[in-house]
Amino acid sequence: MENLQALGLSGNSIIGPIPEQFGTLRSIVLLDLSDNRLSGSIPDSLSNLTMLAYISLSYNHLSSTIPSSLFYRSNLIELYMSHNSLTGTLPSNLGLMQSMDRIDLSSNLLSGSLPNSFGQVAMLLTYLNLSHNSFKDLIPDSFGRLTSLATLDLSSNNLSGTIPNYIANFTYLSYLNLSFNRLEGQVPNGGVLSNITLQSLVGNVGLCGAPRLGLSPCIEKSRPTSGRHILKFILPVVIIGAGAFVACLYLMIKKKNKKPPYVTASTGMTDLISHRLVSYHEIARATENFSEDNLLGTGSFGKVFKGHLDDGLVAAIKVLNMQVEQAVRSFDAECQVLRMARHRNLIQILNTCSNLDFRALLLQYMPNGSLEEHLHSENMEPLGFIKRLDIMLGVSEAMDYLHHHHCQVVLHCDLKPSNVLFDEDMTVHVADFGIAKLLLGDENSMVSASMPGTIGYMAPELAFMGRASRNSDVFSFGIMLLEVFTGKRPTDPMFVGESSLRQWVLQAIPARLIDVLDEKLHLGEQLSQAFHHQTHTTSPFSSSIAYDNFLVSTFEMGLECSSDSPDKRASMSDVVTRLKSIKKDYSAFMVATQSVQQKH
């Protein structure tokens, strides 16, 4: 295939090494092998690809050094090799990469110093991501010539020294992340540094200045003075400090019996925790050294513990299993989605703890468990019809926000009852965005989902082709809606062969819906009495409101959302509108039912 110019094999499950024969594709301009399971080394034969301009090997299992010849391609424009296990150092001479626009080598095992020669590719480089490696020493002075940079991410390395002043002069720089290094000294002012947040600097305990970020002031070294001169300043401070201590002690004793020992994230302490560092040692203390007694749940990528932090806050601490290859990707996805999302029905991320060997998310603690538990546990009080309706309305509003009103379109990709949680007020919160995807493009756009969702809730196109879209989230919502009102999981043993939860409901609608309703519903409300009145009275409200307007509408929407054809599914915005209408019809039905019962 000597004339082949582009080869895209991304988003599959290709295993084994990259074939040496790829080096014979001498006309190739674009080579994309990302998001597969390729392993072993990057073949040296790729150095023969003299026309290569774009190469992506990201999200694989590659474990070799990067062939230095790849850095000597004068026409290479974009180089992506993130999320592998690549080792070694970067070549000292990068001067030949004169056309380079974007470099992403993040989340590997690269080490050594950052080459001074990066400054020689200053003309065009706009994106440089070297985060989550083991680079050390100073940020080179030659980086000051990278004035075209729009994104610079050097986070989670072992870089030391001060933050260079020249970064303030990068006029195009819109994203800077230097967190989790060993940087120290004064934080410079100006440029992107004037608007930088603490999240971009956390994990550098030696930084000072920038009062708006809550960092300690920088202490200037001064000449030694006489003891009497020092005493003149120290004595008043000691007296004031002692007085403040006594006052605080008095207030603490006075309020001891009034103040609860711990508070949840909903009581206004979230701002405090989100603007301070949380260390591994504090997390270990908070979870009693990750005790099983504090274990809330176990997932594909780690465990969730209940933790009592040093400042009294109770949080759910999601500790990633770093032995699982996709855990880092899960951590990054959840951070990326939740750091910007603000909605009353979405779980809130409070803080993170991240280094080379440990990653944890601190999330709102949800004391009332999950929808899964409330539907299927014998120890839980049954949820009534209106409560179930409110829960699904809350979920739909959260998903509508992510699909249509967030700054970026977010696909959850794993919507199910165990990911719907309740706070102390039984307010619903959608959680677990570990495999979420950000969607770019129009309404019909789809993305590759290398980590698919849960059996029973996955849309057919996601299960069989690994393609996620807004419609695939709608499918999961539809299945969950049917489960909420039937009390049957889609994986229930009764569904064998060609039968399914959706097929079971489809066969019952509309005449036999009472047969598929969750039996627990009848314990919580007077639905059975209402249906009794419907079949034994000629009252005009019974059949029109009870049967057609809310119950049939609820199940019809679940069936529509879970259609095999993505184009036949409703949008989340439409789901919100229809659920509100169903809730209104149900309220009218209950008022009318009570009126008839009183007359009888």
Enumerate the active-site residues. 414
Report the sign of the C-alpha dihedral through residues 274, 276, 278, 282, in that order: negative
CB atoms within 10 A of CB 180: 24
Residue 438: name the closest of 572, 363, 335, 520 by CA.
335
Q: Indicate the Cα dihedral angle 50, 53, 59, 63, nearest 10°.
A: 30
What tokens appear for 277 in the block?
Answer: 């560092």
Decide: 321 and 329 in contact? Cβ < 8 Å. no
| Interatomic CA distance for residues 476 and 162, integer angstroms | 49
Residue 218: name the closest of 279, 162, 139, 144 by CA.
162
Q: What is the 3-state secondary structure (H, E, C) of 29-62?
A: CEEECCCCEEEECCCHHHHHCCCCCEEECCCCEE
Q: Is 271 exposed, middle or buried (0-12, 13-18, 19+ CB in 10 A)?
A: exposed
Residue 162: name the closest of 221, 204, 119 by CA.
204
| Residue whose token pair is 């059996």 | 455
CB atoms within 10 A of CB 105: 23
| Interatomic CA distance for residues 246 and 258, integer angstroms | 19
CA distances to 42, 384, 455, 486, 521 from 489, rounded to whole Å, are 45, 18, 11, 8, 16
Decide: 25 and 7 in contact? Cβ < 8 Å. yes
